[in-house]
Amino acid sequence: MYKKDYSSRKYVIIFIFSMILILFIVKLYYLQVVENKYTTSAKNLVIRTVTEYPMRGLIYDRNGKLIVYNDAVYDLMVIPRQIKNLDTNEFCTLLNIDTVYFKKRLKKAIHYSRYKPSVFIKQLSKDEYAKIEDKMYKFKGFFVQRRALRKYTTPIAGHLLGSVGEVNQRDLKRDSYYRSGDYIGKSGIERFYEKLLRGTKGTTMIQVDVHNRNKGSYQNGKYDTLAVSGKNLTLSIDADLQAYGERLMQNKVGSIVVIEPKSGDILAMVSSPGFDLNLLIGRSRSKNYTRLRNDSLKPLMNRAVMGAYPPGSTFKMINALVALQEHAITPNTKFTCQGPESRPIKCTHHHKTPLALNEAIKQSCNPYFWNTFKSLLNKPSLGGTHNAYEKWYNDVRSFGFGQKFNTDIPFELKGNIPSRAYFDKVYRGSWNALTVRSLAIGQGEILVTPIQLANLVAIIANKGYYYPPHFLKQADGEDSIVAKFKTKVTTVVKPQYFDVVQHAMRDVFAMEHGTAHYYEVDSLQQCGKTGTVQNPHGEDHSLFIAFAPYNDPKIAVSVVVENGGYGSKWAAPIASLLMEKYLTGTVKRKRLEKRILNGDLIHHKKK
């Protein structure tokens, strides 16, 4: 039988193994000589990668005044796997901590990672760092990392600016940029513009000897990357006006919103009671936050954008404007506030009757605006009450009510303008003007926010249009962000119908029987409207909206003082003082200013 000769195949096998060996040699040469990143990885025990945190962007007011800046602090970091021969007692004594705290922090670090650095003690001050700097070589596995902490030139605008705090698990899952121990904007402008303000992290690779001592840069910084500072922001707010508004609202619950009508720039936003942002920096942040959160007066709540109130008499001008636009009334239409026409909503003021629109706004006559609202809903050409209501609903929403502005206003509520569908559901389709009569005077289901009221005044001042209220005026190299705030929004009401409303608001200050006559300053040409909002839980809320000057509006204001009673008692004088301060740079009515500054509606109520 013939036998096959396989001896020649051994050369093939030898060739294959030789090629594999050559490939291994080439690969090893590449890894060890040409590409040395794996060499770097192998030296992790003697080469430490330190994150270089960028300086967070600075924040200025509209006049270039620095509001928020950075100050150096130091985080004590730990890599659990590298801890060797640690004298725990000496370590705890140096840092002024006990062994229980030490064990707790180390356990947390191990739970995060034995190999990755994490924060052991955060935000050591410069003095605290100086005490341990020369002794860090004793504590292998620990090192110090420089960070920046937010500082404030003046303790104002806590709700507006917002705070910065340590990332949580949700932040880590949402954005891979962050690592445990990093800081992030938690609220306000700091949160909304986080990606602009945070900058870009860098890395530095340093050599460390067996005693944990820094031996200099690894390969002369070949693998280092530079940190890029965050963008500086210029806000629309006037820091001096903001501070003055906060002083006027001290010991009161409520809000102030001030807008520049021609641009939509928010000049000031006050929520009272407020809080000092310095309480939310440093290692005491958590304790202070818990105290503020548990405060019964809710100082962490931004009432200017989260407070929802019935607008009361301030809403009467909306109903007048919509009725004018839909030809349900004219400026000369008169209604009486006596007899059957005064029911079911009675007048709360004493004045001549019948009266036309100008006088009705000035005197805030309830029956007049009930009849105006009824005339609109019963207008035959609008196709019946329900169709007329839907027209009213859409017209009102064109003023920005019942929706968010969707700019850089954090956590804003949209308020509520009840829809036709809502009433159809509640009353099973059987309802009429009488059913919804409370809407005629800004009560019932209507809810608005103070910033929406300020925007309403801006619309009236502009005769029918507005720019969405916003905070950002300028960001370094980010013109496109600011540009989107410059889109004009026009209401459905034609400009000519605003003349009578503007004139009536001027009379609120200028005429003898105007509800804000006592706060008139001739040179300012102030225009306003009081509102007294029913409060089922106590004394009525005091509301006032205003703009000035009459012929060239530069400021629009809304003021809400909870449990303040009549609109003319607290809200009107506060608005008038703010306009005087902004337009003239000073306040001459010291007696009025003193009464407002000394007014205490919080502690007086508690007694």
Over the stretch 174-189, which tens digit does the pLDDT of each residue have? Answer: 999 998 888 899 999 9
Q: What confidence tens digit (pLDDT) does each residue in 203-242 have?
A: 888 887 665 566 777 777 788 888 899 999 999 999 999 9
Q: Are residues 477 and 518 in the same domain?
A: yes
Total Cβ atoms within 10 A of residue 355: 19
DSSP string, 316-348: HHHHHHHHHHTTS--TT--B-SSGGGG-SS---
Are residues 173 and 269 located together in one domain of the fold? no
pLDDT tens digits, residue range 355-398? Answer: 899 989 988 889 999 999 999 999 999 999 999 999 999 999 99
CA distance 219 to 205: 9
User: Is residue 8 a part of any domain in this protein?
Assistant: no
Residues with Cβ < 8 Å from 539, sequence gap 6 or more? Answer: 563, 564, 565
> DSSP letters of 93-105?
HHHT--HHHHHHH
The reply to whether 424 and 406 lie within a common domain is yes
Mark whether 103 and 199 lie in a shared domain. Answer: yes
pLDDT of residue 69: 95
Considering the domain architecture, whether residues 262 and 145 belong to the same structural domain is answered as no
pLDDT tens digits, one per residue of 84-104: 889 999 999 999 899 999 999
Q: Is 393 helix (H, G, I), strand (E, B) or coil?
A: helix
| Under 8 Å between Cβ of 529 and 548 | no
pLDDT of residue 32: 59
pLDDT in tens, 396-431: 999 999 999 999 998 999 999 999 999 999 999 999
Same domain, 184 and 258: no
- Are the CB atoms for 461 and 264 separated by under 8 Å? no
Alpha helices in 398-447 (DSSP H): 420-426
Residue-wise pLDDT tens digits, 472-517: 999 988 888 888 899 999 999 999 999 999 999 999 999 887 889 9
Residues 307 and 231 in one domain: no
pLDDT higher than threshold 90 for residue 73:
no
Average model confidence (pLDDT) for the chain?
Answer: 89
- Final residue belonging to a domain, choices 235, 263, 289: 235
Q: In what helix (H) or strand (E) does residue 282 lie, and over which residues does it extend?
A: none
pTM over 0.75: yes
Residues 147 and 162 in one domain: yes
pLDDT band at 113 (very low <50, low <70, confident <90, very high): confident
Q: What is the pLDDT of residues 25-59, one digit of tens each?
A: 877 766 555 555 545 444 444 677 778 889 999 99
Last residue of a domain, one of 235, 251, 283: 235
Q: The domain containing residue 91 runs over which residues?
A: 47-235
Regarding whether 132 and 83 lie in a shared domain, the answer is: yes
Query: DSSP assignment, residue 562?
Result: T
421, two tokens: 């569908």
Q: Are strands 183-185 and 164-166 parallel, antiparallel or unpaired?
A: antiparallel
Q: What is the per-residue pLDDT across 256-306, written as a single tens digit (0 to 9) for each?
A: 999 999 999 999 999 999 999 988 887 788 889 999 999 999 999 999 999
Alpha-carbon distance of 511 to 505, in angstroms, equals: 10
Interior angle at CA 338, CA 437 and CA 379, nearest 5: 40
- Residue 339 domain-assigned? yes
Q: What is the CATH number of the domain that holds 405?
A: 3.40.710.10
Q: Is residue 17 part of a domain?
A: no
CATH of the domain at 192: 3.90.1310.10
Q: Are residues 256 and 192 in the same domain?
A: no
Question: Does 294 fall in a domain?
Answer: no
Confidence of residue 3 (pLDDT cuts 50, 70, 90): low
Domain presence at residue 1: no
**173 within a domain of the structure (yes/no):** yes
Structure tokens at 24: 């291994």
**Pair (336, 226) in one structural domain:** no
- Helix/strand/coil for 447: strand
> Per the domain annotation, does 184 fall within a domain?
yes
**Ramachandran angles phi, psi of 269, nearest 5°:** -140, 115
Among 187, 215, 235, the domain-final residue is 235
The pLDDT assigned to 53 comes to: 87
Q: Do 412 and 404 touch, CB atoms closer than 8 A?
A: yes
Residue 15 lies inside a defined structural domain of this protein: no
How much is the average pLDDT of 571-582? 97
Q: Tell me: do 448 and 551 sit in the same domain.
A: yes
The number of folded domains in the chain is: 2
